[in-house]
Copies of this chain bind each other. A is one copy, B any other.
């Protein structure tokens, strides 16, 4: 079981539900079809009616929608342990696209596997519903961020959220984390121009709060950044299991 327990999804779901041997075995079966995807090539296209989702086990992905006028809104980034396109399974048509930001590893999960899992392991179903609810809570935060936060607070909040999410799967801590995003990713996620992103990052660095350079985010003053962003991680619900 060591292999399974080290998987990012298992690690993440275990935060919420203490999984039994049987549930771990069901989860392990979900991880059967691991594949590699190249950076920059869409995995799932908006509007595509395919019945598979993925569990990301290594690398970063962005999910986005292209508007008819060609502009792109990044909805969220996915990190190891996250589902990609869980909605495209249940809603039948993908409501957005997924693009690997770096070369990634991901496991294909067929709808039938997922429904079978729900039937065999209801606690696991609850844990997956928890993960889906948490994904929604993050999108809500992004909506509020774009609607109501100024650019500095928006960026600070974003960098803190990614740090908290990565910590959950052992890929970050209060010191910082590796981050492959470009200024264009940040711009499309935060509703800013690339120039504006640069300016905001410079201001945060000069204020001694956070540095994002050479693919690494370093929290220089974690508490100060939390204060600036008014970051309350309650919506990420990482405080321990509900189901023992």
Contact = CB atoms under 8 A, between A and B. Distances in A.
B134 A132 contact: no
A143 B73 contact: yes
A217 to B, nearest CB: 23
Interface in A76-120: 86-87, 90-93, 95-96, 111, 115, 118-119
A122 B114 CA distance: 11
Given A91-B133, A92-B242, 5 more contacts: A16-B90, A73-B148, A90-B134, A95-B140, A96-B140
B92 A237 contact: yes
Nearest to A142: B143
Contacts of A32: none
Query: Which of A91, A139, A149 has its CB near the most chain B CB atoms (within 10 A)?
Result: A91
A140 B126 CA distance: 22
A1 interface: no
A147 B91 CA distance: 23
Contacts of A96: 140
A37 to B, nearest CB: 22
Contact of A132 (B133, B148, B234): B133
Contacts of A111: 242
B147 A191 contact: yes
B67 A148 contact: yes
A73 to B, nearest CB: 4
A180 B232 CA distance: 33
A135 interface: yes
Given A75-B140, A243-B115, A129 B132 contact: yes
Contacts of A65: 140, 144
A103 B119 CA distance: 38
